[in-house]
């Protein structure tokens, strides 16, 4: 028999929609009370925003705009309803983009996704998301505690120590990026250390490509995906059915034509836009920049919320690499500090289920010392390691791309 996190997951779809639309006017009113939304919603009557067509008339605030909004009105661009000093934690992710954590339990609502991935009370979880300045570590930590799991705060890196820790505590679960689990398994093989206690995983921060999922399954590890952002928290998640991703109960999701606020027809690919039902950070029509599409029907697992296909790439050039977002403006900052380089182009690919990152640089100086300096500057700015590949002047494609994501998601 399928188990559920709570009764919300099996509601009649019409009941769920009515509940969301009933909560919407209050959320718009809360957003309108903030400094960031006050001017945007000056002529909006929150009581009238009680349907999807009415919501679609409001402007989209895109994640890509947060850098400039927050620079003009730090730390959160005025979009927070709870005063900064009354938040639980404050984060500054690469970009830089600031994100708050309120004081409610499981603030990002990821416990539902962890439960759907098979985690239960009493399980031990190795949490390999970063706890350093970015929310991901705390996000999954709170989710595990919401389910009743014990958490090993592994963070990222230090594969030798992580393997030793897994061998010592014998966790049954892993939370982290899809590719870091592969690195841990490879390190364990190299050291001859048994970490076969891990039988299930919830991954995020990057695409779980089919070959990598199969590789884990062949090792007896069932891996499911959660999809979310540092700003919003959980957006959608896989269940044991593995047929699309089920939309979280705490938000209203739209798929819109990229660059516009216009909803697309069901099944069409577009940008994921969410309105967050959150008292601390009431984001309204927040454009994630991610691409997806709505699937027809409901999941065979019995959860009745609508489903999306999952993460299908980016609507803009901003992309997620090894769990970290990289923005074109960051590449520009690295470029401006390297006088010997005229142009840069970041190429993100995939090999053996792992992200590959190559920063191509046009330069007359193609020395090892320059390559080292650029690689160090890029890692400091973007928190991601890269290979430096030099090119002759005028040879990089002149197509406007600063980030070229050549990974395949289907």
At 258 the pLDDT is: 79
At 400 the pLDDT is: 60
At 407 the pLDDT is: 86
Give residue-wise pLDDT tens across range 225-253: 999 999 999 999 999 999 999 999 999 99
pLDDT band at 95 (very low <50, low <70, confident <90, very high): confident
DSSP string, 67-127: HHHHHHSTTTTT--SS-GGGSSEEEEETTTEEEEE-SSTTTT-THHHHHHTT--TT-EEEE
The full set of domains in the chain, from first to last, is: 7-316 (3.40.50.12780), 321-405 (3.30.300.30)
Give residue-wise pLDDT tens across range 163-196: 999 999 999 999 999 999 999 999 999 999 999 9
Residue the block writes with tokens 């639980």: 88
Q: How much is the average pLDDT of 274-295?
A: 95
Q: What percent of the chain has pLDDT over 90?
A: 81
**Is the pLDDT at 1 greater than 50, yes or no?**
no
Q: What percent of the chain has pLDDT over 70?
A: 98
Q: How much is the average pLDDT of 282-302?
A: 94
35 Rama sector, left if φ>0, alpha if ψ -120 to 50, beta otherwise: alpha
CA distance 133 to 91: 5
Which structure tokens are listed for 315? 């609507």
């Amino acid at each position: 028999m399928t188990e559920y996190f709570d009764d919300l997951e099996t509601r009649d779809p019409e009941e769920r929609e009515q509940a969301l639309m009933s909560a919407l006017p209050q959320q718009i009113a809360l957003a309108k009370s903030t400094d960031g939304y006050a001017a945007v919603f000056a002529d909006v009557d929150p009581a009238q925003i009680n349907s999807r067509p009415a919501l679609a008339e409001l402007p989209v605030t895109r994640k890509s705009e947060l850098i400039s909004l927050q620079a003009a009105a730090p730390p959160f661009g005025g979009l927070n309803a709870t005063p900064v000093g009354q938040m639980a934690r404050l984060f500054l992710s690469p970009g830089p983009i600031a994100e708050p954590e309120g004081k409610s339990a499981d603030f990002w609502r990821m416990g539902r996704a962890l439960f759907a991935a098979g985690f239960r009370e009493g399980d031990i979880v190795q949490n390999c998301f970063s706890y350093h300045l970015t929310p991901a570590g705390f996000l999954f930590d709170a989710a595990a505690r919401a389910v009743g799991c014990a958490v090993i705060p592994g963070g990222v890196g230090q594969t030798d120590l992580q393997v030793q820790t897994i061998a010592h505590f014998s966790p049954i679960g892993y939370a982290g990026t899809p590719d870091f689990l592969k690195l841990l398994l490879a390190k364990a093989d190299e050291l001859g250390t048994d970490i076969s206690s891990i039988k299930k995983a919830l991954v995020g921060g990057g695409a779980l490509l089919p070959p990598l999922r199969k590789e884990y399954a062949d090792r007896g590890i069932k891996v499911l995906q959660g999809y979310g952002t540092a700003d919003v928290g959980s957006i959608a998640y896989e269940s044991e059915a593995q047929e699309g991703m089920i939309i979280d109960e705490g938000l209203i999701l739209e798929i819109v034509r990229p660059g516009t606020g216009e909803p697309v027809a069901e099944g069409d690919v577009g940008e994921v836009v969410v309105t967050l039902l959150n008292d601390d950070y009431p984001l309204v029509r927040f454009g994630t920049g991610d691409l997806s599409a709505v699937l027809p029907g409901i999941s065979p697992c019995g959860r009745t919320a609508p489903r999306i296909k999952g993460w299908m790439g980016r609507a803009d050039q901003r992309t997620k690499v090894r769990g970290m977002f990289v923005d074109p403006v960051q590449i520009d900052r690295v470029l401006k500090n390297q006088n010997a380089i005229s142009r840069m182009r970041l190429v993100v690919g995939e090999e053996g289920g792992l992200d590959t990152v190559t920063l191509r640089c046009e330069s007359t100086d193609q020395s090892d010392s320059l390559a080292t300096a650029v690689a160090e500057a890029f890692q400091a700015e973007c928190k991601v390691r890269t290979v430096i590949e030099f090119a002759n002047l005028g040879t990089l494609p002149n197509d406007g791309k600063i980030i070229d994501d050549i990974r395949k998601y289907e």
